[in-house]
């Protein structure tokens, strides 16, 4: 879900050379260093029914806080910086002269992006997605603040493990930890497999 947005932000950061670039970058990276509970609290305050934004959303029938949407939002905000950072590096590594050449060969800016920039930045993008996914998988603090821990509704794997452990159901917690491990393993392995296949082709 955050992929298109993250790619756009990364592109903007890679190309934009104006004032405020540093501040914007820092702002985007802030969730990386803040305690997740602090981020969760800010989100909660911003989207709760008493806040103007939350009230407006509620009046349009959109309840965010303590629903699954809050889970998604918390994960997105927390993993966004990781995606943006690696996507940006990936874009910066694409030689801008190759993009220029694609233009002289008749490609518009969008076509040049699709046919040259994207394929060349693909590995970095994938790495960013995997990183972001792992971060989302492990997300705990912000989620528990804004979405609560409602079994069957807003309980994520990470929350459930903590929950079961607190209730003394360690066997269930262990099974869930195993599921998490399997998910993470498959994600990382797939990413690794993609990048290896690609680099072999380019170096061949």
User: Contact residues for other proteins (CB under 8 A)?
Assistant: 95, 97-98, 100-109, 111, 115-116, 119-120, 201-204
In angstroms, the CA 48 to CA 30 distance is 22
Residue 161 C-beta: closest distance to other proteins, Å:
41
Backbone phi, then psi, for 55, in 5-degree steps?
Answer: -65, -45
DSSP letter for each residue of 49-98: TTSHHHHHHHHTT---TTSHHHHHHHHHHHHHHHHHHHHHHHHHTS-HHH
Q: How many Cα atoms sit within 13 Å of 105 on the Cβ side?
A: 10
Coil, helix or strand for 167? Answer: coil
Residue 80 C-beta: closest distance to other proteins, Å:
27
Residue 125 C-beta: closest distance to other proteins, Å:
13
CB atoms under 10 Å from CB of 86, counted, come to 23
The nearer residue to other proteins, 107 or 184, going by C-beta atoms, is: 107
The nearer residue to other proteins, 26 or 199, going by C-beta atoms, is: 199
The nearer residue to other proteins, 55 or 96, going by C-beta atoms, is: 96
The nearer residue to other proteins, 115 or 172, going by C-beta atoms, is: 115
The nearer residue to other proteins, 123 or 135, going by C-beta atoms, is: 123
Asked if 117 and 109 count as a contact pair (C-beta separation under 8 A), the reply is no
Residue 197 C-beta: closest distance to other proteins, Å:
12
């Amino acid at each position: 879900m955050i992929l298109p947005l993250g790619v756009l932000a990364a592109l903007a950061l890679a190309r934009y050379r104006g004032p405020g670039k540093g501040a914007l970058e820092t702002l985007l990276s802030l969730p990386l260093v803040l305690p997740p509970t602090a981020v969760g609290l800010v989100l909660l305050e911003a989207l709760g029914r008493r806040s103007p934004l939350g009230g407006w959303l509620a009046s349009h029938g959109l309840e965010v806080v303590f629903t699954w949407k809050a889970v998604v939002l918390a994960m997105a905000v927390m993993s966004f910086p990781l995606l943006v950072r690696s996507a940006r590096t990936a874009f910066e590594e694409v030689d801008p002269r190759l993009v220029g050449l694609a233009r002289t060969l008749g490609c518009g800016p969008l076509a040049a992006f699709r046919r040259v920039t994207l394929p060349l930045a693909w590995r970095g993008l994938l790495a960013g997605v995997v990183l972001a996914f792992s971060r989302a998988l492990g997300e705990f603090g912000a989620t528990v603040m804004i979405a609560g821990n409602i079994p069957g509704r807003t309980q994520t794997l990470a929350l459930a493990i903590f929950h079961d452990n607190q209730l003394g159901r360690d066997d269930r917690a262990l099974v869930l930890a195993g599921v998490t491990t399997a998910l993470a393993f498959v994600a990382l392995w797939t990413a690794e497999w993609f990048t290896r296949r690609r680099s072999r082709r380019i170096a061949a």
